[in-house]
Amino acid sequence: MEFCTFKHTARIEVRYAETDQMGIVHHSVYAVWFEQARTEFFREAGASYAQMEAEGFSSPVLELNVQYKSPTHYGDFVDIETTMEKVDRLRVRFHYKAFVDGKLCTTGTTLHCMLKNGRPSRDLPESFNKFEFVKE
């Protein structure tokens, strides 16, 4: 597998609205956090996703996988470590690990294709040139 040499950890505070009546963060929320972690991943790498969209690119999610190991709670700060894998010329997969106080709570992946003006594109956004990939 080819992984990007850049990694990022986003810190997200649990919002009250994200809890459910079990007293824990609802399982659907992690997909929203992962997306926020991707936004920060791009920005920290100097490659704004908002700008990529303005250039006609979009990167819809093809697959989502989440493994819930232990719950997170209102009051927690969740650290989400994000890495990017190049699957092939048309697809990338992001890998996420969510920690609270250093304890791994949740892992997940999202698989994305790259569209330009709504069509599959081998033509990557210019800012992707910033990323280097290495075999792992």
Q: Which of 5, 55, 64, 120 binds a copy of itself (CB under 8 A)?
A: 64
In the complex with a copy of itself, the residue whose CB is nearer, 119 or 135, is 119
Q: Centre a 10 Å sphere on the Cβ of residue 126 and count the other Cβ atoms it contains.
A: 12
The CB-of-38 to a copy of itself minimum distance in angstroms stands at: 9
Task: Tell me the closest approach of the beta carbon of residue 71 to a copy of itself, in angstroms.
Answer: 7
Please give the biggest Cα pair distance in the chain.
46
Distance of CA 29 to CAs 10, 38, 85, Å? Answer: 15, 14, 23
Instruction: Give the interface with a copy of itself as residue ranges (CB under 8 A).
Output: 13, 15-17, 19-24, 26-29, 31-32, 35-36, 39, 48-50, 53, 58, 60-68, 71, 74-75
